[in-house]
């Protein structure tokens, strides 16, 4: 035990000498300055003005879109005598023509279609809150697996819960994962109504 303590004392003494050396301190300070400078340059170079702060959070809140959304690119910088000035600041841009917004397809739209597909195989079918899958533990109008249901509302299966409870659980799943939990039946509920 005493031999081990001597080793620690020796190592601590060497570390104290090493960090107390002005030469080592200057070298470490120079390395830190270079790393911080490189990080700052990287942030400035890769910074995109006007970029959305949370594009994924917005995408999951809105749900899948029927048509692609156009994303405007940031204006390219114009160099003027050694300084960068944004092209938007140098000349006004024309305002784009207003288009009507695409139809809302949030949870209110998808829930009815998913319920119909999961309960009866058709997007326009009425919900069956007591439905049970014969080949898995999925049940209820949204065919939620028992592992995903996880004993919500004190019941083991979604089909044992009331319609309001199933609706609330499915809306919660949609808020957290979008329509990913119902990807297996997507061909049904994404199909156009006839």
Q: How far apart are CA 129 and CA 162, in angstroms?
A: 7
Give one word for 140, left, alpha or beta, with left for phi > 0 and alpha for psi -120 to 50: left
107-120 helix and 163-177 helix, angle to the nearest 10 degrees? 120
Domain spans in the chain, listed from the N-terminal domain onward:
2-49+73-90, 107-189
Which CA distances in Å does 24 have to 12, 16, 72, 120, 158? 16, 11, 50, 73, 65
Architecture category of domain 107-189 in CATH: Orthogonal Bundle (1.10)
Chain segment 127-158, per-residue pLDDT in tens? 999 999 999 999 999 999 999 999 999 999 99
pLDDT computed for residue 55 by the predictor: 46
* pTM for the structure as a whole: 0.47
Q: Residue 45 above 50 pLDDT?
A: yes
Would you state the pLDDT for residue 15?
61
Q: How far apart are CA 156 and CA 144, in angstroms?
A: 11
Residue 189 host element (H or E): helix 186-189
Q: In whole angstroms, give the CA distance from residue 106 to residue 62.
A: 6
Q: What is the pLDDT of residues 62-71, one digit of tens each?
A: 455 544 545 4
* pLDDT tens-digit readout, 93-129: 666 666 655 555 788 888 888 998 998 888 888 999 9
* pLDDT value at residue 94: 66
């Amino acid at each position: 035990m005493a031999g081990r303590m001597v080793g620690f004392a020796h190592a601590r003494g060497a570390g104290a000498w090493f960090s107390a050396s002005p030469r080592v301190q200057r070298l470490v300070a120079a390395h830190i300055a270079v790393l911080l400078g490189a990080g700052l340059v990287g942030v400035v170079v890769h910074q995109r003005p006007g970029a959305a702060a949370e594009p994924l959070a917005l995408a999951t809140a809105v749900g899948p879109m029927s048509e692609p959304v156009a994303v405007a690119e940031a204006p390219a910088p114009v160099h003027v005598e050694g300084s960068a000035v944004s092209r938007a600041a140098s000349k006004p841009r024309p305002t784009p023509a207003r288009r009507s917004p695409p139809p809302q397809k949030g949870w209110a739209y998808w829930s009815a279609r998913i319920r119909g597909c999961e309960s009866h195989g058709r997007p326009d079918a009425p919900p069956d809150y007591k439905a049970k899958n014969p080949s898995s533990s999925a049940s209820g109008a949204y065919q939620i697996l028992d592992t995903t249901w996880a004993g919500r509302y004190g019941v083991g299966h979604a089909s044992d819960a009331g319609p309001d409870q199933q609706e609330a659980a499915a809306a919660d799943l949609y808020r957290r994962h979008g329509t990913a939990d119902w990807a297996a039946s997507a061909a049904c509920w994404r199909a156009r109504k006839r």
